[in-house]
Every structure is written in structure tokens, then in C-alpha cells.
């Protein structure tokens, strides 16, 4: 057993050809993609940003690079501490590694930090983004106008915030972590698929065509679409069913709002 604080630098912590397989990577990505969400919420606050056409894009790229680097480095170092990672309990592996490094004190401190970061920082990020979208949809007439109500003094969409908080509390107490992860991943990946197609349509098919635009607005989003689709297809069947039903609800709302597509589709302005 590894002694307290002992590490074993090894390349296997970065890449283990014996245990590596794409099927496992796809299944894991469908769950852990939740840990990378948050950068997309930046776009929902574009109206509050200074020079959003520049600052929002830079903030999103910076968040992706920062989050990705942090996860890679943390996982690599964890592999140095626990080269026999297959013997760890998947549900508590990180806590076991932390305990090897710093004992019970560091483990408790890490647990507190994780709870605060996910429960407060992550929770507020998600609630802010979703509330902001509901506010915009209510303001633009896509959803009931009540979602656009602003608090008289704080100027925040209090109806949307309370609704999102209440639903989040109920779902967090009734659904398992795996179920929530798959459902959130469904929405995120489906959005990424449409986003990549939108880039191709807006900036390539309707824009200037040359070598640079082909690389930026055709090849790059096609790669993004293929990777997102690959991960999307690996999601649990239950997530696809529930996500599909949720899409159906949205389609029915759109059908009613456009009176069977006889009226223009409402535009969501963020």
C-alpha cells in the first residue's frame, strides 16, 4: 500500500494502453461532461457584458482551456499517487487518493471545498444561466410573461430564479447523480450539435468562402459536430428518452406559439 505522501511518477498515469478503449472513454465523457459545463453559461450574460462580441468569446475559450488543463493535471498527479487505480472504489477514488496524500485532515478539507464549489459556485452558475434564459424567453413572448418580471429594487428576474431553485431542489433530492448527469449531458450535447451546424450555416454557407473560412467555419465545426454526436450516441437510453420527450414539449410550445407555423417563429434575443 502506498505510504502517506508517497508518489510514483509514471507515464501510465497519462496513458495506459492496456486499459484504454474508446467505448469506456465515450461512456465516461457522457457523464463527466457535466463537470465542463459552465463556460456556455457565459453566453447567457452577453447583455450585461462590455463589448460582448469580443469579451464573451474570449471568456468562453479561457474557461474551456482553464477547466480542461485543471482536470488533466489533477488526474495525472492522482495517477502518480495511485498507480494501482483499478483497486480503488470508483465512487470514492478521489477521496482515497487525497487520503493517501494528506491523511484525514486533507480529505475533510477537500470534501468541504468540493461541496462548496459544486453546491454554491456551480449551483449559482447554473441557476443564473437558466434563470436568464427563462427571463429572455418570457420577455420575448416565447414563455409566459411572468418569467420576465423583475424585482423592484434588485432588478433580477425573481420569478424565474425561484422556479429554477425550487425545481433544482426537488430534482436533486429525487434523482440519482448518474441520471442527472445523463440528462444534463443530453441537453448540452444536443445544443452543441445544433451550435456547430449553425456556425456552418451562418458563417460558411451564407458568408465568404476561402481557405481560412473553410477551416474555421466548415472543417472545425464539422469536427466538433462529429465528436459531439459520437458522445451523444453513447448516452444512456433513459437520458435519450427523457430528453426526447422534453424536446417534444418544446416543439409543441413552438407549434402553439406559431399557430401551426402560420406565424413567424419567435426570436430569442439575449
Residue 248: per-residue pLDDT = 92
- What the block records as the C-alpha cell of 107 is 480529505
Distance spanning both ends of the chain, measured CA to CA: 54
Residue that wins the pLDDT comparison between 137 and 7:
137
Note if the pTM is more than 0.95.
no
Judge contact between 187 and 243, C-beta under 8 A. yes
Residue with cell string 448527469? 181
What is the structure's pLDDT at 196? 94
- Residues contacting 231, CB < 8 A, separation 6+: 26, 29, 30, 33, 185, 189
Residue 2 has pLDDT above 90, yes or no: no
pLDDT of residue 223: 92
268 band by pLDDT with thresholds 50, 70 and 90: low
For residue 218, is pLDDT > 90? yes
Q: What is the pLDDT of residues 168-212, one digit of tens each?
A: 889 888 888 777 777 777 888 898 899 999 999 999 999 888 999
Confidence tier at 33 by pLDDT (50, 70, 90): low
* pLDDT of the residue at 184: 77
Q: Which of 23-32, 103-112, 233-242 has the lowest mean pLDDT?
A: 23-32
Between these two residues, 88 and 37, which has the higher pLDDT value?
A: 88
- Average pLDDT of the chain is 84
Looking at residue 1, what is its pLDDT?
43
Question: Region 26-43: what's the mean pLDDT?
Answer: 70
Phi-psi category of residue 178: left, alpha or beta, with phi > 0 → left and psi -120 to 50 → alpha: alpha
* Nearest CA-CA partner of 28 in 64, 79, 65, 75: 75
Statement: residue 143 has pLDDT above 70: yes
Amino acid at each position: 500500500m502506498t505510504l502517506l505522501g508517497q508518489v510514483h511518477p509514471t507515464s501510465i498515469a497519462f496513458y495506459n494502453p492496456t486499459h484504454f478503449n474508446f467505448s469506456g472513454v465515450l461512456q465516461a465523457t457522457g457523464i463527466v461532461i457535466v463537470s465542463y459545463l459552465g463556460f456556455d453559461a457565459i453566453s447567457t450574460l452577453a447583455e450585461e457584458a462590455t463589448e460582448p462580441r469580443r469579451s464573451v468569446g474570449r471568456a468562453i475559450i479561457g474557461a474551456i482551456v482553464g477547466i480542461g488543463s485543471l482536470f488533466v493535471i489533477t488526474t495525472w498527479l492522482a495517477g502518480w499517487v495511485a498507480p494501482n487505480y483499478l483497486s480503488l472504489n470508483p465512487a470514492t477514488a478521489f477521496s482515497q487518493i487525497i487520503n493517501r496524500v494528506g491523511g484525514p485532515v486533507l480529505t475533510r478539507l477537500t470534501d468541504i471545498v468540493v461541496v462548496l464549489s459544486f453546491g454554491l459556485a456551480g449551483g449559482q452558475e447554473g441557476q443564473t444561466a437558466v434563470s436568464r434564459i427563462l427571463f429572455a424567453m418570457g420577455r420575448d413572448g416565447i414563455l409566459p410573461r411572468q418569467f420576465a418580471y423583475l424585482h423592484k429594487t434588485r432588478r433580477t428576474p425573481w420569478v424565474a430564479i425561484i422556479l429554477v431553485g425550487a425545481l433544482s431542489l426537488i430534482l436533486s433530492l429525487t434523482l440519482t447523480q448518474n441520471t442527472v448527469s445523463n440528462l444534463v449531458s443530453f441537453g448540452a450535447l444536443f445544443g452543441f450539435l445544433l451550435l456547430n451546424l449553425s456556425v456552418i450555416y451562418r458563417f460558411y454557407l451564407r458568408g465568404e468562402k476561402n481557405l481560412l473560412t473553410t477551416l474555421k467555419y466548415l472543417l472545425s465545426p464539422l469536427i466538433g459536430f462529429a465528436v459531439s454526436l459520437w458522445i451523444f450516441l453513447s448516452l444512456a437510453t433513459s437520458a435519450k428518452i427523457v430528453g426526447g420527450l422534453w424536446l417534444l414539449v418544446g416543439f409543441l410550445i413552438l407549434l402553439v406559439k406559431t399557430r401551426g407555423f402560420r406565424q413567424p417563429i419567435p426570436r430569442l434575443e439575449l
